[in-house]
Chain A
């Protein structure tokens, strides 16, 4: 079974703090993704990575950065947390597109509250 783990289930941070969210997958997947999910807005892609040290902006990258130093680990960084970044953050991973399947598997999510 694919396993995607995230460092925290719940996190409370203060405005202006630097926040690190970590994600680890054990399926040797090339692709990893960070989404946020808000009521009524669905899943929105923040960043994704298709290889170590590679990253691409998603639909809402402003205020976020990412790091992928190892294949299994993908970190999301909130440089200076703001209250509008209060959300559920979901990490996902998938195999390479050309492998013939592209199912994304999600971690349990981190519910971040910025006060």
Chain B
């Protein structure tokens, strides 16, 4: 089982809709979780980090963490074509200093 699993997509949503990106993980000891956005040909850019169960909101982005069910999600409200990118889920496994990345979900926002 992969440490971090993401559906590769593409996930297509119409402009203005809510995009929901999901990530599951296997290490129950994981404490820190991150979402990165990566445009084609560019480097990953940190969007949000979340450390405790529940929701964390930042502008149009909401990260949700459920440690009991071992998933973390990213909601993008009022999706814009400029949100079209690959979104990487990442986490810090328990006891390690090396972040583990998922392979990413490609999001397409259709105008």
* Complex contacts, A50 vs chain B, CB 8 Å: 97
Asked if B97 and A103 sit within 8 Å, CB to CB, the answer is no
Interface residues of A (CB under 8 A from B): 31, 40-43, 45, 48, 50, 58, 90, 94, 97, 101-109
Partner of A42, one of B34, B46, B98, B102: B102
Q: Number of residues in B with C-beta < 8 Å to the partner?
A: 19
Q: Mark B53-72, 1 if CB is under 8 A from A, else 0.
A: 00000000000000000000
Asked if A42 and B101 sit within 8 Å, CB to CB, the answer is yes
Partner of A107, one of B43, B88, B103: B43
Asked if A106 and B44 sit within 8 Å, CB to CB, the answer is yes
Given A103-B46, A106-B44, residue A43 in contact with residue B101 (CB < 8 A) = yes
Asked if B49 and A101 sit within 8 Å, CB to CB, the answer is yes
Asked if A104 and B43 sit within 8 Å, CB to CB, the answer is no
Given A42-B104, A43-B88, residue A104 in contact with residue B99 (CB < 8 A) = yes
Partner of A31, one of B42, B45, B97: B97
Given A42-B104, A43-B88, residue A102 in contact with residue B44 (CB < 8 A) = no
